[in-house]
Amino acid sequence: MQNLRVELGERSYTISIEAGILGRTGEIISDLTPARQVLLVSNPTVFPLYGDKVISSLHKAGFEVEVALMPDGEVYKNMEEALKVLDKAVDFNLERTGIIAALGGGVVGDLAGLVAAVYQRGINFVQIPTTLLSQVDSSVGGKVAVNHPRGKNLIGAFHQPLAVIIDPLTLHTLSEREYKSGLGEVVKYGLIYDESFFAFLENNASAVKERRGEIIAELIYRSCRIKSMIVEKDEKEQGIRALLNLGHTFGHALEKITDYKAYSHGEAVAMGTVAASLLARERGYITEEVFKRILNLYRILDIYKEFPPFDPEVVYAAMLNDKKVMYGKMRLILPAGIGQAVIADDVEKEEIIRAIRRAQNLAID
């Protein structure tokens, strides 16, 4: 069992990582709160796999449980589905002291978290992430949101969880594509913050791809530790937290222009990071050697194929909906070496268009 504490004053919480921990969900929550009601939010893919285990643990700890299933997929991370979960909370007479728990990937977690943030002006929320991406990124840090047709995560809040309960055994049922999507965010941590973690990924690429237990445990722990350290320094993204958005301005644009149907989030982030790295190389922020090292890690982990051939003007237009746009100016996160990144607020449109074109013409074997 590995525990990590996220220190945020009265909003502090523990991330508990342990194989088989799902069976202790009830015990963990009841140690933290006198609440007796849990609204468990999940989807029809994850609930049949892990719902029983979580519910019987909650019942054993004396909780009354109601279940709200949202449809599976990023296209359903919207206000309409959030309202249905809110209806369920009202029908359940969920009290202000009750809990909303998210069992699933980042889509379930982001939507359930938003509901928890607004229901009766905010109630306690527990994250039980079941994808690699949600275990290393979305369950930690309190960003909760749904998409708007015009842009990704445009309707959201900062609402820290009461607890994060991570069972790496759930990754055994995860598809190859979704596992690799999670690796897209894992690489991000090494690139923006921790060269030794980046080297760890380079040196253990085969074991990472084979999902070896001890490597996965280390991946999750180190990723959560880096994210926690950043969030502790800057909970509401006034500064350093923006670095966690590396590749996301391009990536969110690609997700949006394909109506959230073509790419997983991690795939889009990997594409966006390649474009951001090309822009950084043109500016001289990274050398050719560093650029090749980034691309090589994507290649050996097999998480990047190509940047899609959309009109760069269309991609650029979609990028303007990014939440980092400030006083009309786009801000981009650019790598500045392995383990370092900067926030650039002087990027010209032409540079972005060139980076997209270069990404589209990049040969990767």
Ligand X SMILES: NC(=O)c1ccc[n+]([C@@H]2O[C@H](COP(=O)([O-])OP(=O)(O)OC[C@H]3O[C@@H](n4cnc5c(N)ncnc54)[C@H](O)[C@@H]3O)[C@@H](O)[C@H]2O)c1
Tell me how many residues contact ligand LNCXM5UN (CB under 6 A).
12
First-to-last alpha carbon distance for the chain, in angstroms, is: 39
Tell me how many residues contact ligand X (CB under 6 A).
30
Applying the rule CB under 6 A, the residues between 118 and 147 that interact with ligand LNCXM5UN are 137, 141, 143
Regarding 281 and contact with ligand LNCXM5UN (CB under 6 A), the answer is no
Is 72 annotated to bind ligand?
Answer: yes
Q: Tokens 């929550």 sit at which residue?
A: 29
Q: Tokens 């644009």 sit at which residue?
A: 253
Q: Residue 225 binds which entry of ligand X, ligand LNCXM5UN, none, with Cβ cut-offs from 5 to 8 Å by kind?
A: none
- Catalytic residue flag (residue 59): no
Is 159 annotated to bind ligand?
Answer: no
Determine the Cα–Cα distance for residues 337 and 339; give it in Å rounded to an integer: 6
CB of 58 to ligand X, least distance (A): 18
Q: Residue 245 binds which entry of ligand X, ligand LNCXM5UN, none, with Cβ cut-offs from 5 to 8 Å by kind?
A: ligand LNCXM5UN
Q: Which two tokens stand for residue 25?
A: 């969900």
- Residue 342 in contact with residue 240, Cβ under 8 Å? no
- What is the CA angle 269-274-277, rounded to 5? 120
Q: Residue 104 binds which entry of ligand X, ligand LNCXM5UN, none, with Cβ cut-offs from 5 to 8 Å by kind?
A: ligand X
Pick the binder of ligand X from 57, 65, 74, 246 (CB under 6 A).
74
What is the H or E stretch that residue 88 is in?
helix 79-91
**Secondary structure of residue 96 in the 3-state scheme:** coil
Is 346 annotated to bind ligand?
Answer: no
Q: List strand residue ranges (DSSP E) for 130-217, in order.
A: 143-148, 151-158, 163-166
Query: Using N-to-C axis directions, what is the helix angle for 288-301 and 195-203, rounded to 10°?
Result: 50
Is 60 annotated to bind ligand?
Answer: no
Give Cα separations from 320 to 79, 145, 147, 283 (angstroms): 22, 18, 15, 21
Catalytic residue, from 81, 178, 185, 255: name it: 185
Tell me, residue by residue from 82 to 111, as one string, x for binding to ligand X by CB under 6 A and - for no binding: ----------------------xxxxx-x-
Catalytic residue, from 80, 121, 289, 350: name it: 121
Sign of CA dihedral 353, 344, 243, 7: negative
Is 73 annotated to bind ligand?
Answer: yes
**Secondary structure of residue 339 in the 3-state scheme:** coil
Tell me, residue by residue from 250 to 289, as one string, x for binding to ligand X by CB under 6 A and - for no binding: --------------xxx-----------------------
Pick the binder of ligand LNCXM5UN from 24, 88, 180, 241 (CB under 6 A).
241
Distance of CA 357 to the CA centre of its chain: 27
Determine the Cα–Cα distance for residues 134 and 143; give it in Å rounded to an integer: 12
Tell me, residue by residue from 164 to 203, as one string, x for binding to ligand X by CB under 6 A and - for no binding: ------x--xx---x--x----------------------
- Catalytic residue flag (residue 148): no
Query: Which stretch, 74-82, 169-177, 239-247, 341-349, contacts ligand LNCXM5UN (CB under 6 A)?
Result: 239-247
Q: How many CB atoms lie within 10 A of CB 26?
A: 20
Q: List strand residue ranges (DSSP E) for 105-231, in order.
A: 124-129, 143-148, 151-158, 163-166
Is 302 annotated to bind ligand?
Answer: no
Query: What residues are annotated to the active site?
Result: 121, 143, 185, 227, 237, 241, 245, 248, 252, 265
